[in-house]
Structures are given as C-alpha cells and as structure tokens.
Structure 1
Amino acid sequence: MTALPQHAAIRLRNLTVAYRGHPAVHHLSGDFAPGSLTAIVGPNGAGKTTLLAAIMGRVSPVEGEVQRAAGRIAWLPQQVEIDRSFPIRVFDLVALGHWSRVGSLRGLDAPQREAVHHALDAVGLAGFERRGIAELSAGQFQRVLFARVLLQDAPVILLDEPFNAIDARTTADLLAVVARWHAESRTVIAVLHDLEQVRRHFDRTLLMARRCVAWGPTAEVLHAEHLFRARQMAEAWDDDAALCEEAA
C-alpha cells in the first residue's frame, strides 16, 4: 500500500469496480481528508455501497486502486445484510467491536466489559445487554450496531444507509453520535438517500451515478444541475452491456 500524504485518509485513483461482471464504479478519483464528514449520494444502483465495499477491501478493483492511511476502518453495514434470527445477546454483539484487539480465544477483561456498557449507554440502550437481537425494533438494533462501531474506536468509519427505515428520534440520536465522531476528527463516510438530511448534517458530498458527478462542499454538489445530470446518467445505464473481461 502506497503511503498517503497527511491530507488524505483515503485516496481513490482511477477506481473501477465491477458487480456481477458489470462496472458499478467507473474511473473514480479523489481524496477523503482526515477528519472529513462526507455523504455519498446518488440514484439507486449508482455504486454507493460497492464503493464502500472497495474502500473496506471486501471487493477488488478491476482497474485503479484504493489507498488507505494506517489505522482501522469500522464498517456499519445495512441491516438487511445481518441475520437478525441468530441467537446472540445485545452485549455479545456489541462486544464484537473488541474483536480486532482481543480475538476469538480471549475473554473480555473488566475494562473491556465496562466499555461495552458505556457504548450501549451512549446510544441510549443501557439495560438492554441481555436481550436477544431478534427482540429489538429496527431502531433499537441500529443503535446496537452504532454501539459496536463506537467500541471499535477506529479513525475511519463507513456507514451504509445508517438511517434507513428507523424512527425520527433514533435518527436524531445517531446523527448526534456522528457529529461527535466528526468533532473527534474521525473520518466519516456515509451512504445516504435523504438529501435534506445531507444538507443539514454533512459538509461534504460525493454525488455519483457509477461515475463521479460532483464531489466537494455539499451546498455546491447538491445543485439542481448536478442532480439532474445524475438522473440523466442513471437513465442511460445499460445493464445488459457486455461483461467486464476482468470480472467475467
């Protein structure tokens, strides 16, 4: 991995990523600065989640690269990716945030157990430790996932649709957690759909439609002309085009 300059926590260089053989992210280049708070927006199928997966290293580029500064990256997936029927308690799911430091063979010591309780208290779930995750509402479960991210204490945090299908109070509480991360100079990147929410809470935005439409200060990016261009680009997608040779 190439060393990054101090002004970049993550650098994308001509990044192209395919999903099921079809390009989902095209020739994307740019930097996420350390401590920046960036929303990723765009039409459905624009490659937003695929981009997060590439930053995490979960998918490999067919062209270009992702350069990452040293340090852990915390990932909050969409709820639909998690099997809520798995028999695990809230405490144990949050404790997985210690995984990178503790591993699977060691038990938690007293400070680590206290950190789990503190994380749950920070997201408004004190007293929920012994509940099974299947018993939780969507909003409560999202608070649990945020608590796990809190425990990871990572300098870079990726959030995939973190406020989708949850109530307004939970959204407000979790946005306050995001604001705290930003105040702590963590780099936060979130895939979002609510543009008014982006305008109110995120100072930088990447608007993409598989390719970059605009990337910069939110007020400039979410201009009507850019949003119209993103819709036009989405309408022109040909999902029956030939597969990428590298991914076929």
Structure 2
Amino acid sequence: MNSLPAAAGSSRPEDGETAESPLSIYDLTVAYNRRPVLWDVGVNLPAGRLVGIVGPNGAGKSTLIKAVMDLVPRASGRIHVFGEPYRRQRGRVGYVPQRESVDWDFPVDALDVVTMGLYGQIGWCLPVRRKHREMAREALERVGVADLAHRQISELSGGQQQRTFLARALVQDADLYLMDEPFAAVDAATERAIVDILQDMKARGKTVLVVHHDLQTVPEYFDHVILLNMRVVADGPTADVFTPENLQRTYGGRLTLLDEATEAMRRRERSL
C-alpha cells in the first residue's frame, strides 16, 4: 500500500502510551469529500503540560480537536484518552470551542452557561441545586467576570464570552482540556488572564491542548508544541521543536503536501 513518508518528529502511542497518557493518537486520517484534512497523524501528549497546536490556516488544527471528541468521522486511526476511547473518558475532558461556533443569541446568562459544565455531575433532567450554582459562581470569579453572572451571553464582549466558556470548562475539573483558539479576538487583559489560568491548571497537574495562531507568544505560553500542516511536522518540547527550520517546513509547501496526500488516498482506495 502506498503512503506518504512518516513525518519527522511525530510520535506514536506505542512509543510510551500508558493508562496515564492524557492523549494518544495513532494513524489518524480525516477527510471531507475525499479530500484529506488530517493525514496519518501520530501524537502522544505528555501529562501536566501546556501544549500548543500551531500551523497555517486550513492545516487541520480545529479538526484534530474535534476528532479527539468524536465530532467528526475518521477515515482511519485510533485515539485514546487516558488509555481508553474518548466515549469512556469524556468526563475527564473539558472543552472550550471557537467563539464562532457558539450561538450567542441562545437565551441563557453567563451563570447558566457555566452550570452546563456540571451536567455530568447533575444528570440530565434533574434540578440544578444551590451547590452547583455556587460552583459556577466560583468559576466565574476565578476568570474575573462574577459580576456578569446574570448577563445574557449576547450582551457580553468577546473577551467576556471567552472567559465565560473558560469558566464552564474549569468547573468540570477535568484532567485534559481541549481549547480551540481561546485567545482569538480577546483584549490584552483577557489574554493575560487566560495565560495565568493555564499556568495554574498546569501547576495542578492538568494537561491543556490549545489551538494557537500567534507565533510570537508560543515560546512564552507553551512548554510543548505540535507543528501541524495536515500532518505532524514535528512535536516535542518547545525549545527543541519551535525552530526556524521546522516553521519553514510547517508553513511552506502546503499545496504540494495536500496534492500528494490526496493522490495517496486515491491509491489506497483503489488497492482495497
């Protein structure tokens, strides 16, 4: 069977996957209308790290997050969260979506949004108790918007909305957090607040995977980085991986790589 050569620097689950491994991905391919978005992705995240996913627009960063949570179909591949399929470990995963994917006109206030993060504990169709609302208020306090608890989400600024969804993830007290562009369209104060929260999460042993665009802040914000351009170009400690050579490989030649992957998928289908 024909395929593309393995990406340099990418890891495989068998290179060290254990039941404590927060996220292990092997041979992941995702395609839309037979056009690959992710191709043969292999990643094994270290525990207790702030991990940035970096790459050009259309490189598959958000798709990778969605594939982990079974939100998009896979053409192939295996994904383990703490050694098990996501569906068995979803209670240990917190998620902050892209702001563009949220219906901000939905008639709920900030406190309601955060309380939604507790439904795994509350149970569907069961009443929200006072202790749950107190937990939600504490999470809003932690991200600095407790005074907006009863503000309808459409009335919040972009930064306030992002803080609210971060509070929803925090209240879950998850072990692995997936964040899709949490710094997009936020003010400098909100970005600094988010960074401080991420550092606190790391100090408490949490693993955080963040889709990120600002190359200048990568060395400051993350201690592990995944360079992605449809495939994993390189991943590892930021000091080792975030180099001019790897960035050139990540941001250059995407069309050629896409064409090669598309042709390889066609050859694979013909061989089946």
Q: How high is the TM-score relative to the length of structure 2?
A: 0.84
**1:197 shift after superposition:** 1.6
Partner residue of 1:111? 131
**1:102 shift after superposition:** 1.2
- Post-superposition Cα deviations, 1:51-76, rounded to whole Å, max 9, x if no partner, equal 11111121232112111114521111
Partner residue of 2:196? 176
Alpha-carbon distance change, 146 to 11 in structure 1, aligned in 2, over 3 angstroms: same
**1:104 shift after superposition:** 2.8
CA contact (8 A) 2:159 2:187 kept: yes
Query: Is 1:61 matched up with 2:81?
Result: no
Partners of 1:232 and 1:206 in 2: CA distance: 16
**Higher mean Cα deviation, 230-239 or 13-22?**
230-239
Query: Is 1:10 matched up with 2:30?
Result: no
Partner residue of 2:116? 96
Query: Is 1:52 matched up with 2:65?
Result: yes
User: Which amino acid counterpart does residue 82 of structure 1 have in structure 2?
Assistant: V
Alpha-carbon distance change, 243 to 21 in structure 1, aligned in 2, over 3 angstroms: farther
**1:100 shift after superposition:** 1.2
> What value does the CA root-mean-square deviation take over the aligned residues?
2.2
CA contact (8 A) 1:22 1:239 kept: no
DSSP-derived class of the 2:118 partner: helix
Superposed counterparts of 1:165-204, under 5 Å: 165-204=185-224
User: Which amino acid counterpart does residue 147 of structure 2 have in structure 1?
Assistant: G
Q: Which runs of 4+ in 1 moved over 6 A?
A: none
**Higher mean Cα deviation, 101-110 or 128-137?**
101-110
- Post-superposition Cα deviations, 1:99-150, rounded to whole Å, max 9, x if no partner, equal 1111231122222111011011101111211110111100010010011011
Partner residue of 2:41? 28
- Post-superposition Cα deviations, 1:14-41, rounded to whole Å, max 9, x if no partner, equal 1111134311111111201221221000
Seq. identity, % = 36
Superposed counterparts of 1:86-235, under 5 Å: 86-235=106-255
Partners of 2:260 and 2:111 in 1: CA distance: 43
**1:98 shift after superposition:** 0.5
Partners of 1:241 and 1:61 in 2: CA distance: 15
DSSP-derived class of the 2:147 partner: coil
Partner residue of 1:85? 105
CA contact (8 A) 1:16 1:28 kept: yes
User: Which amino acid counterpart does residue 136 of structure 1 have in structure 2?
Assistant: L
**1:176 shift after superposition:** 0.7
Q: How high is the TM-score relative to the length of structure 1?
A: 0.92
**1:241 shift after superposition:** 4.9
Q: How many residues were matched structurally? A: 245
Partners of 1:109 and 1:14 in 2: CA distance: 44
Query: Is 1:42 matched up with 2:62?
Result: no
**1:7 shift after superposition:** 5.2
**1:242 shift after superposition:** 6.6
What stretches of structure 1 of length at least 5 have no aligned partner?
A: none
CA contact (8 A) 1:11 1:31 kept: yes
